[in-house]
């Protein structure tokens, strides 16, 4: 039955894709439901996060297949630091493991994937930041596809910190009032990578909110939003295609 269902989903997904006119350039994903998935199956929270990380890798493959050049994953918010210390430490260890793997992953080089992290780096433990910076340095000249991880990230905090940097630059004479434009703020916010406006926000686990995620790039662009029932470990290719259909429908209505 599983194989029959998978075959039916592939046929359905290809049918939907053939009807699409518009493809988003930048998809931002809120990876929700790892803990719920684990609890419902009697698994540890760490196992839920590890299974979620496997979904992230699959989605990267799908993004390339679907010609989506930018994907941003909401990996860890500033609020997540309030969780149980064992869970936070387990996630940090998982980040170290995955960023370390990226350093030797042939797919990163073959597909010319630029990897960057956005968030408050002062909150990221040094041993995690070391691996992040190593991956960013290794991939900084790749420009075919872009993968951004929002880590120690909060949208309101991001805007406040950007405002402080802009005010500081104005006070020291680096910029004038006329220099303060939307493009300048975007450049100041995301200095490590070329992040275009968000076209589509996707959230799993049926929680219908955008959780302070990329407000400058998403809300300012009136991004389409797609909520789906499956938790992140359960997220399937057909769910991704349905999200693209939501974006296509929005664009057709303009």
- CB distance 12 to 238 below 8 Å: yes
What is the reported pLDDT for 176? 95
Q: Where are the domains of the chain?
A: 24-156+197-238
Q: What is the pLDDT of residue 245?
A: 97
Is-contact 152 74, C-beta < 8 A? no
CA–CA separation, 76 and 84 (whole Å): 14
d(C-alpha 204, C-alpha 195), whole Å:
22
Q: pLDDT category, 64, cuts 50, 70, 90?
A: very high
32 in catalytic set: yes
Task: Find out whether 20 and 67 touch, Cβ atoms under 8 Å.
Answer: no
**pLDDT the model gives residue 71:** 97
According to the model, what pLDDT value does residue 180 have?
A: 94
Q: What are phi and psi of 173, to 5 degrees?
A: 85, 5
User: What pLDDT sits at residue 22?
Assistant: 96
Q: Which homologous superfamily is 24-156+197-238 in?
A: Decaprenyl diphosphate synthase-like (3.40.1180.10)
Mean pLDDT of 92-97: 96
* 80 included as an active-site residue: yes
In tens, the pLDDT along 101-157 reads 999 999 999 999 999 999 999 999 999 999 999 999 999 999 999 999 999 999 998
34, 46, 67, 80: the catalytic one is 80
Tell me what the mean pLDDT of segment 88-106 comes to.
Answer: 95
- Distances 191 to 117, 130, 195 between C-alpha atoms, Å: 10, 18, 9
CA of residue 105 relative to chain centroid, distance = 19
Distance of CA 223 to the CA centre of its chain: 14
Token couple for 44 = 């540890």
Q: What is the DSSP letter of 149?
A: E
**pLDDT (tens digit, 9 = 90+) per residue, 161-207?**
999 999 999 999 999 999 999 888 888 887 655 789 999 999 999 99
Cβ atoms of 221 and 201 closer than 8 Å = no
Structure letter (DSSP) for residue 175? S
CA distance linking residue 211 with residue 30, whole number of Å: 8
């Amino acid at each position: 039955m599983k194989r029959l269902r998978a075959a039916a989903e592939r046929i359905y997904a290809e049918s939907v894709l053939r009807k699409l006119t518009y493809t988003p350039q930048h998809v931002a994903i809120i990876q929700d439901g790892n803990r719920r998935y684990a609890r419902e199956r009697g698994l540890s929270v760490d196992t839920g996060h590890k299974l979620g990380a496997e979904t992230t890798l699959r989605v990267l493959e799908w993004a390339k297949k679907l010609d989506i050049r930018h994907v941003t994953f909401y990996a860890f918010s500033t609020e997540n630091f309030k969780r149980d210390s064992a869970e936070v430490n387990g996630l940090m260890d998982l980040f170290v493991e995955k960023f370390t793997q990226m350093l030797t992953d042939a797919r990163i080089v073959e597909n010319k994937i630029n990897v960057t992290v956005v968030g408050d780096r002062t909150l990221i433990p040094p041993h995690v930041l070391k691996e992040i910076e190593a991956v960013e340095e290794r991939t900084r000249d790749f420009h075919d596809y872009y993968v951004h991880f929002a880590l120690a990230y909060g949208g309101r905090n991001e805007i406040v910190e950007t405002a402080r940097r802009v005010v500081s630059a104005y006070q020291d004479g680096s910029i004038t009032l006329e220099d303060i434009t939307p493009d300048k703020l975007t450049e100041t916010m995301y200095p490590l990578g070329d992040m275009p406006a968000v076209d589509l926000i996707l959230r799993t686990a049926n929680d219908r909110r955008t959780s302070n995620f990329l407000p400058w790039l998403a809300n300012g662009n009136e991004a389409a939003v797609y909520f789906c029932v499956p938790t992140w470990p359960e997220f399937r290719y057909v769910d991704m295609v349905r999200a693209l259909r939501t974006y296509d429908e929005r664009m057709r209505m303009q």
